[in-house]
């Protein structure tokens, strides 16, 4: 459906439009139209394609979705794909926003995105001096909003890493820690797939030959690129922390298993000594030494207790018990 269709002239809002009224405003000097759609029907995209002469390949990409974040140039217009990331019930949900930008129009098409861009429109309308730059500034505002929404997600993932690290060193369930770390690594991969390609694509808007529709706003797109660098570096740092935490967790499991093995070996040694002595004197041979000695039983028990006491003392000193 069409969320908004608004005409602007020299940074000021003129009127809300229907699709049929678009052409009379796009023909006016210093005027552009901003159309926002959410999960549009094919007929709506076809109508806008006819109205703005959108390239058929870009319209096809916007219709089918599942595109990689990118920026493509078609003549005097550009086509941009963004991947907003939202947290839904502790899981990361990735959406898609396709943006068509020309000299007198900008069309944004969002799919599977819960949070809209009303704040972006409000911000743009509150800065008429910047909105005078036309559709290029709206594109910057949309990209900046998408990238800024990565930061709270990244912060929440960082907090998850810290919580898991605390659980690891307090000796809580190692199996749960492994599962949590694996899930966290998967979330970081989702965020990396959204931000990484966009960082590469954004370079086209502030370095080298900049598309004509975006000229004059290179420093703003460079700011978006700087934020993306911060996000991708944060993702890489967290991925390293997760990998280290997984290694530490596995090392602690090995250490715990070694401690258990040492304790079992110590207890086995304590049991083995009495078993050996009792086994020797339980063979029932007629001519065994001290077999008929009055104090033989007490001496055997005392020997068992003495040797076990000595072994227990040495095991405790060695940290095995």
**194 near 231, Cβ under 8 Å?**
no
Instruction: List, in order, residues 6 or more apart from 48 with CB less than 8 Å away.
Output: 19, 35, 37, 54, 100, 107
- Residue 92 near residue 193, CB atoms below 8 Å: no
Tell me, what's the pLDDT at 172? 67
* Interatomic CA distance for residues 197 and 69, integer angstroms: 6
pLDDT at 287: 65
Pairing of strands 85-88, 70-74: unpaired
Residue 154 has what pLDDT? 92
Mean pLDDT per 10-residue section of the chain, whose length is 321 residues: 86 88 86 90 88 90 88 91 87 91 92 88 91 92 93 91 84 77 90 90 83 86 92 92 85 79 82 80 68 74 84 80 73
Helix (H) or strand (E) holding 179: helix 174-202
* DSSP per position, 230-287: HHHHHHHHHHHHHHHHHHHHHHHHHHHHHHHHHHHHHHHHHHHHHHHHHHHTTS--TT
Lookup: tokens for 101: 């930008």
- Distance of alpha carbon 107 from alpha carbon 101, whole angstroms: 7
**Domains, the chain, ordered by start:** 1-128 (3.30.460.20), 259-318 (1.20.58.340)
pLDDT value of residue 275: 83
Give strand ranges (E) for 10-104.
Answer: 12-16, 31-38, 70-74, 77-82, 85-88, 91-94, 96-101
pLDDT for 34 equals 92
Strand partners of residue 32:
8
Q: Rounded to an integer, what distance in angstroms lies between the CA atom of residue 134 and that of residue 233?
A: 32
Rounded Cα distance, 158 and 320, in Å:
38
pLDDT on residue 285: 65
d(CA 82, CA 117): 13
Rg (C-alpha) for the chain, rounded Å, is 35
pLDDT at 83: 93
The pLDDT assigned to 234 comes to 93
């Amino acid at each position: 459906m069409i969320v908004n269709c608004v005409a602007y002239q020299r940074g000021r809002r003129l009127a809300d439009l229907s699709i049929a009224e678009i052409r009379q405003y796009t023909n006016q000097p210093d005027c552009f139209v901003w159309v926002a759609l959410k999960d549009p029907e094919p007929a709506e995209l076809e109508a806008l394609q006819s109205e703005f002469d959108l390239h058929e390949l870009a319209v096809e990409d916007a219709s089918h979705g599942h595109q990689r974040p990118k920026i493509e140039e078609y003549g005097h217009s550009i086509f941009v794909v963004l991947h907003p990331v939202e947290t839904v019930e502790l899981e990361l949900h990735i959406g898609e926003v396709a943006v068509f930008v020309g000299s007198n129009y900008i069309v944004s098409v969002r799919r599977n995105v819960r949070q809209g861009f009303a704040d972006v429109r409000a911000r743009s309308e509150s800065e008429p001096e910047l909105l005078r730059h036309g559709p290029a500034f709206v594109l910057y505002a949309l990209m900046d909003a998408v990238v800024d929404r990565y930061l709270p997600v990244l912060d929440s993932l960082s907090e998850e890493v810290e919580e898991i690290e605390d659980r690891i060193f307090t000796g809580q369930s190692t199996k749960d820690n492994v599962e949590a770390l694996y899930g966290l690594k998967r979330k970081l991969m989702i965020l990396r797939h959204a931000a990484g390609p966009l960082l590469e694509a954004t370079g086209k808007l502030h370095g080298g030959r900049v598309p004509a529709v975006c000229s004059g706003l290179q420093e703003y797109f460079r700011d978006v690129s700087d934020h993306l660098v911060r996000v991708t570096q944060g993702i890489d740092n967290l991925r390293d922390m997760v990998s280290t935490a997984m290694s530490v967790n596995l090392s602690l499991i090995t250490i715990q298993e070694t401690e258990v093995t040492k304790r079992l070996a110590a207890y086995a040694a304590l049991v083995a000594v009495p078993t050996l002595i009792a086994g020797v004197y339980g063979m029932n041979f007629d001519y065994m030494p001290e077999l008929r000695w009055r104090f033989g039983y007490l001496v055997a028990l005392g020997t068992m207790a003495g040797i076990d006491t000595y072994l227990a003392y040495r095991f405790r000193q060695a940290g095995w018990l």
